[in-house]
């Protein structure tokens, strides 16, 4: 896995669904959080690009707080809260110009 993330001690991971809007974050893990049912979900998320080390940003929320529009790599996906909860991230800081 990529090594260019902050030291573990300084990290505070949170679920992607709790990431403040327009904040850059780095994925630390994509995991099932709710038993067998989300295992398949986590795998699917990996297939569309939600992989540890990838950078994500919350672009927008739907009219009632759901779904979430998430930038991962150079793609944008709409996820519901339950899906986003499979993605553990660590915030890097407010959105800049997109460079690491």
Q: Which residues pair with 29 in a beta bridge?
A: 88
What whole-number distance in Å separates Cα of residue 1 and Cα of residue 21?
26
What whole-number distance in Å separates Cα of residue 8 and Cα of residue 40?
28
Does 59 contact other proteins by CB under 8 A?
yes
What whole-number distance in Å separates Cα of residue 81 and Cα of residue 69?
11
What whole-number distance in Å separates Cα of residue 23 and Cα of residue 68?
13
Please list every residue from 29 through 58 that binds other proteins, using CB under 8 A.
30, 34, 37-38, 41-49, 51-52, 54-55
In the bound state with other proteins, the residue whose beta carbon lies nearer, of 9 and 82, is 82
Q: Report in angstroms how near the CB of residue 92 gets to other proteins at its nearest.
A: 13
19, two tokens = 């990431």
Q: Report in angstroms how near the CB of residue 6 gets to other proteins at its nearest.
A: 17
Q: Report in angstroms how near the CB of residue 9 gets to other proteins at its nearest.
A: 25
Interface with other proteins (CB under 8 A): 1, 30, 34, 37-38, 41-49, 51-52, 54-55, 59-67, 69, 71, 73-80, 82-83, 97-100
């Amino acid at each position: 896995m990529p090594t260019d993330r902050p030291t573990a001690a300084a990290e505070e991971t949170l679920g992607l669904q709790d990431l403040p809007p327009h904040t850059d974050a780095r994925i630390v893990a994509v995991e099932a959080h709710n038993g067998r049912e989300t295992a398949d979900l986590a795998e699917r998320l990996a297939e569309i690009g939600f992989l540890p080390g990838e950078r994500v940003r919350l672009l927008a929320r739907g009219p009632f707080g759901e779904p979430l529009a998430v930038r991962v790599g150079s793609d944008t996906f709409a996820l519901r809260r339950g899906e986003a909860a499979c993605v553990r991230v660590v915030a890097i800081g407010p959105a800049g110009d997109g460079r690491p």
